[in-house]
Amino acid sequence: MIRFTSTNLRRALMMTGGCQRPLILEKAFGIFIRVPDDNNPGEWLRAYAAGCDPRHDDDWEKHANALIPETEYSFLTYISQDNWNAVINEHHDLFMTPSGTTVLKETRPPEKVWVRVAEYRNGIERLFDQTHRHFCACVGQREIAAWRQTSLYVLDQVIRLDCKRAKPDDREQFARAVARIKDRISSVTTEGEVRTYSFIR
């Protein structure tokens, strides 16, 4: 199965049309999903599969060949509303499996990234800073709307972190930080209007 993280997919899936827009699953120089870029007519957005990005993954070619044996592959498909919601709102991973004349799709909770205690705690601090300090620095709806988009990317990354040596207090702080930023994000519309924000202790 080909795994795409919400971190990589968010920009592509948030283009105009949402789940109604076709996605092209492709293998060429790596494996990726591509969609037309609304902000740059004639250009494409690419969301690379985990382990298949030649810009960052050392063994991308070996991994890509194991997932799709063909030298080149291209398939136009759609994502269901449920899968779209799971990726965009719950930060789930999307799995795609080419099967005959179709591509099977499913989502799963974000795969854990195991880190050291210091990085785990940095993630907690990053969420708290994004929720409070960065939000309070926003002036006007445009900046608040930009804050919301950035916060979703931050949460995409941090929500995956886990640490085998984390203490119970660390895990409690992590859960609280995630709940607070989710609550703050839900209090802001995509246009930057602020609804009621309920403070989570």
How does pLDDT run across 24-48, given as a tens digit for each residue? 999 999 999 999 888 888 889 999 9
How does pLDDT run across 2-29, given as a tens digit for each residue? 999 999 999 999 887 777 889 999 999 9
DSSP 93-124: EEEEEEETTEEEEEEESPPPEE--HHHHHHHH
How does pLDDT run across 42-71, given as a tens digit for each residue? 889 999 999 999 999 999 999 999 999 999
Question: What mean pLDDT comes out for the span 134-142?
Answer: 95
CB 5 within 8 A of CB 93: yes
Quickly state the pLDDT bin for 196 (edges 50, 70, 90).
confident
Question: What mean pLDDT comes out for the span 70-79?
Answer: 94
Domain range summary for the chain, segments of one domain joined by +: 2-108, 113-186
Nearest to 97 by CA among 110, 88, 106: 106
Q: So what's the pLDDT on residue 113?
A: 95
pTM equals 0.87
Question: Containing H/E element for 56?
Answer: none
Q: Which long-range contacts (CB under 8 A, 24 or more apart) does 7-12 make?
A: 7/153, 7/156, 7/157, 8/47, 8/48, 8/49, 8/50, 9/33, 9/47, 9/87, 9/94, 10/87, 10/88, 10/152, 10/153, 10/156, 11/45, 11/47, 12/45, 12/46, 12/47
Distance CA 32, CA 4 (A): 9
How does pLDDT run across 147-164, given as a tens digit for each residue? 999 999 999 999 999 999
CATH class of the 2-108 domain in this structure: alpha beta
Q: So what's the pLDDT on residue 48?
A: 97
